[in-house]
Amino acid sequence: MRKLAMVALAVMTLGGTASVAAAQGGAMGGGRGRGSMIDRLLTQPTAITLTADQQKKVDSLKAAETEEMGKLREEMQNSDDRQAMFGKMRDLNKKYQDAVRALLTADQQKTFDENVAAMPQRGRRGGGGGGR
């Protein structure tokens, strides 16, 4: 009986963790709990309303970005050259940022560009850290 209670507790704990991760935008292992870079650029500080067709294309780009970024993270774990790896990640983010921007109308691109400009950029302040 005690073992059954422990198993039930473990299952509930894992289920709660998964639902919290999903609610934060990071589906188990994806992202850092803040959603994808693409999502942030489309919503912060100003949300861009996409058509159904644009949303479908953006979703495909996000899936491809997540897959490529996962491969880079695995590669990073086996690499001593972290600077080179961060450079690859920066290039990958830029690649998908440009691809998403190309899907947008001129008005949406203006808002997107404003969102990009409002994003804290690592490394610009000399310390390389976040803006906190």
pLDDT in tens, 96-106: 999 999 999 99
Residue of higher predicted confidence among 123 and 55: 55
Residues 6 or more apart whose Cβ sits within 8 Å of residue 68 = 92
Could you tell me if 39 and 96 are in contact, meaning their C-beta atoms sit under 8 angstroms apart? no
Confidence at 17, pLDDT banded by 50, 70, 90 = very low
The chain-wide mean pLDDT, for the chain, equals 75
Instruction: List all residues 6 or more positions away from 120 whose beta carbon is below 8 Å from its beta carbon.
Output: 130, 131
pLDDT of 122: 54
pLDDT band at 3 (very low <50, low <70, confident <90, very high): low
Residue whose token pair is 């690859």 = 88
Average pLDDT over residues 52-63: 95
Q: Are 116 and 41 in contact (CB under 8 A)?
A: yes
Compute the C-alpha angle 33/37/40, nearest 5°: 85
User: Average pLDDT, stretch 82-88?
Assistant: 85
Q: What is the pLDDT of residue 29?
A: 38
Return the structure tokens found at 70. Answer: 């996962």
pLDDT at 132 over 90: no
Task: Report pTM.
Answer: 0.63
Q: CA 89 → CA 8, 23, 83, 96, distances in Å?
A: 40, 25, 10, 11
Residue 78 has what pLDDT? 82
